[in-house]
């Protein structure tokens, strides 16, 4: 179910100028969105559920892909590095915050003990790379302060807007099923995003679209939890099966 929040997490990441410009300059995300999604899922599932050998394999893959992703600041673009712990913190933060929002929409709020455990576990998304454990905010209240402060400083520019637009409007080269799914994906992404960023990314919104989004969330919350666990966990099962255990 968390995959449904992927668009929100990605756009939150792109709205951070250093992340967005790094993606624009070094990533083929828009042209190979399925491959990029698959690689992201492999990494996250290996962090959460994989063996030490699987985690070592995907971490090495990610680090290898990150080697060329760096640049000095220019008059029109910020400096960035894919090995920057602060940027890795923001990426992990967007995944955690989105997971909580989607879970609450579909399953309801977690009890405090479960919420604290989930929060602590999500730190591993960053610490599996170069983020020191101490950089992850100490508790959920500290995280909320960090997230809100960072969110207030996000800004969408022409470069990151173009990347997001290409991602949310795949070309004719994309699989037909993906192009058919994107109107719903855009609706969910827009509905989950903060209002300011939704506007800056130019995502269509109206009272009618909001009603459609809320109706979709209600139907999902009614149907999805009733699905067999094997179906709900299929992306995780397939992703882990594709990762070598070294």
The predicted-structure confidence for 188-226, as pLDDT tens digits, reads as follows 999 999 999 999 999 999 999 999 999 999 999 999 999
Per-residue confidence (pLDDT) for residue 29, from 0 to 100? 65
Q: Considering the domain boundaries, does residue 154 fall inside one? A: yes
Q: Considering the domain boundaries, does residue 48 fall inside one? A: yes
Q: Considering the domain boundaries, does residue 246 fall inside one? A: no
Going by the DSSP 8-state scheme, the letter that residue 157 receives in this structure is: -
Q: Is residue 217 within 8 Å of 101, Cβ to Cβ?
A: no
Q: Considering the domain boundaries, does residue 195 fall inside one? A: yes
Model pLDDT for residues 68-108, shown as the tens digit of each residue: 999 999 998 899 999 999 999 999 999 999 999 999 999 99
Give the whole-angstrom CA distance, residue 166 versus residue 27.
12
Buried b (16+ CB within 10 A) or exposed e, 128-148: bbbbeeebbbeeeeebeebbe
| Longest pairwise C-alpha distance within the chain | 53
Number of domains making up the chain: 1
Q: Considering the domain boundaries, does residue 165 fall inside one? A: yes
Q: Considering the domain boundaries, does residue 38 fall inside one? A: yes
Structure tokens at 226: 């009733």
Is residue 30 pLDDT above 70, yes or no? no
Q: Which residue in the block uniquely carries the two structure tokens 């709205």?
A: 15
Per-residue confidence (pLDDT) for residue 95, from 0 to 100? 96
Q: Which residue in the block uniquely carries the two structure tokens 């139907």?
A: 219
Q: Considering the domain boundaries, does residue 60 fall inside one? A: yes
Q: Considering the domain boundaries, does residue 52 fall inside one? A: yes
Reduced to 3 DSSP states, what percent helix, strand and coil does the chain have, rounded to the nearest 5? 70, 0, 25
The helix/strand/coil state of 85 is: helix
Range of the domain at 98: 2-241
């Amino acid at each position: 179910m968390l995959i449904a929040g992927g668009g929100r997490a990605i756009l939150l990441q792109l709205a951070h100028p250093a992340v967005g410009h790094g993606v624009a300059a070094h990533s083929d995300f828009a042209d190979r969105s399925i491959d990029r999604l698959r690689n992201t899922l492999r990494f996250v599932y290996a962090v959460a559920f994989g063996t030490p050998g699987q985690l070592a394999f995907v971490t090495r893959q990610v680090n290898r892909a990150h080697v060329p992703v760096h640049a000095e600041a220019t008059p029109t673009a910020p400096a960035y590095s894919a090995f920057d712990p602060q940027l890795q913190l923001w990426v992990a933060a967007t995944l955690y915050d989105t997971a909580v929002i989607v879970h609450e929409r579909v399953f309801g709020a977690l009890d405090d003990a479960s919420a604290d455990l989930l929060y602590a576990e999500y730190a591993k998304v960053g610490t599996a790379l170069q983020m020191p454990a101490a950089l992850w905010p100490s508790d959920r209240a500290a995280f909320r302060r960090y997230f809100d402060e960072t969110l207030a400083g996000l800004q969408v520019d022409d470069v990151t807007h173009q990347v997001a637009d290409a991602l949310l409007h795949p070309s004719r080269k994309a699989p037909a099923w993906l192009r058919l799914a994107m109107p719903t994906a855009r609706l969910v992404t827009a509905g989950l995003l903060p209002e300011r960023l939704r506007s800056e990314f130019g995502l269509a919104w109206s009272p009618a679209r909001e009603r459609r989004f809320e109706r979709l969330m209600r139907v999902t919350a009614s149907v999805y939890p009733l699905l067999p666990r094997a179906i709900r966990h299929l992306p995780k099962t397939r992703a882990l099966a594709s990762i070598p255990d070294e």
